[in-house]
């Protein structure tokens, strides 16, 4: 059985490495239905891939803490939001080149234990593999291996165009001989 790290109602400031976070509210009807599924079926599930053991943290954050820590989780459209985010060693989310939080939401996924665990296995494994390929993970805690971020400089490629001399086109006028009439 593979159990992932679980930090129920964790402090948002303590997250490190890849995390699946459920942002929920006590007053939300959908959350009232989903949170027991998350806590009692998904968290203790033995359906997680072995590769995710000791790498991924499952946690939930209530709306009160979320509203104080939106910079960590990004904006949400509603409750509950199931979001995959990778945090660095100091607890800040990884961001893309534009400064946006790199996140993946479980959108249009039925809120059933089997569907969510399949989503976690697929999305998280794929993301971790892609980040390793690109050398983006600098968090050895998150993946159990030495990290190291490679800083690359983006070079804008421009297409060279051969300059040609423009020639002004003129109309040719046909010259005709005039004949004198007597």
Taking CA atoms, 3 is separated from 6, 55, 71, in Å, by 8, 10, 29
Q: How far is residue 61's CA from residue 15's CA, in Å, rounded to a whole number? A: 11
- The residues facing 59 across adjacent strands are 7, 21
Q: How far is residue 10's CA from residue 59's CA, in Å, rounded to a whole number? A: 6
Q: How far is residue 144's CA from residue 51's CA, in Å, rounded to a whole number? A: 11
Tell me the longest C-alpha to C-alpha distance in the chain: 119
Mean pLDDT to the nearest integer, 84-105: 90
Structure tokens at 111: 């809120």
pTM score: 0.68
Q: Per-residue pLDDT tens for 135-151?
A: 755 444 333 333 333 34
Highest mean predicted confidence (pLDDT) among 79-93, 138-152, 158-172: 79-93
Which residue ranges make up each domain of the chain?
A: 5-143
Total residue count of the chain as it appears in this document: 182
Q: Where are the beta strands (DSSP E) in 12-171?
A: 17-24, 57-62, 81-87, 103-105
3 state SS of 23: strand
- The residues facing 86 across adjacent strands are 18
Say what percent of the chain tops pLDDT 70. Answer: 66
Region of poorest pLDDT, from 49-53, 54-58, 156-160: 156-160
CATH class of the region 5-143:
alpha beta
Quickly state the pLDDT bin for 118 (edges 50, 70, 90).
very high
With contact defined as beta carbons under 8 Å apart, do 80 and 23 qualify?
yes
Structure tokens at 129: 């593999």
Region of poorest pLDDT, from 47-51, 137-141, 177-181: 137-141
């Amino acid at each position: 059985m593979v159990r992932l790290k679980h930090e129920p109602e964790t402090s948002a400031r303590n997250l490190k490495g890849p995390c699946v976070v459920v942002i929920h509210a006590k007053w939300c009807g959908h959350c009232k239905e989903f949170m027991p599924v998350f806590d009692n079926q998904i968290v203790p599930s033995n359906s997680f891939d072995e590769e995710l053991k000791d790498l991924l943290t499952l946690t939930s954050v209530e709306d009160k803490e979320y509203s104080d820590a939106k910079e960590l989780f990004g904006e949400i459209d509603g409750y509950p939001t199931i979001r995959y985010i990778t945090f660095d060693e100091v607890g800040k989310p990884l961001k893309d080149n534009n400064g946006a939080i790199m996140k993946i939401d479980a959108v249009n996924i039925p809120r059933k234990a089997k569907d969510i665990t399949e989503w976690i296995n697929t999305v998280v494994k794929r993301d971790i593999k892609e980040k390793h390929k690109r050398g983006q993970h600098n968090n050895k805690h998150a993946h159990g291996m030495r990290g190291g971020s490679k800083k690359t400089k983006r070079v804008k490629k421009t297409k060279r165009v051969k300059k040609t001399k423009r020639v002004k086109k003129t109309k040719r006028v046909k010259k005709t001989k005039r004949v004198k009439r007597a």
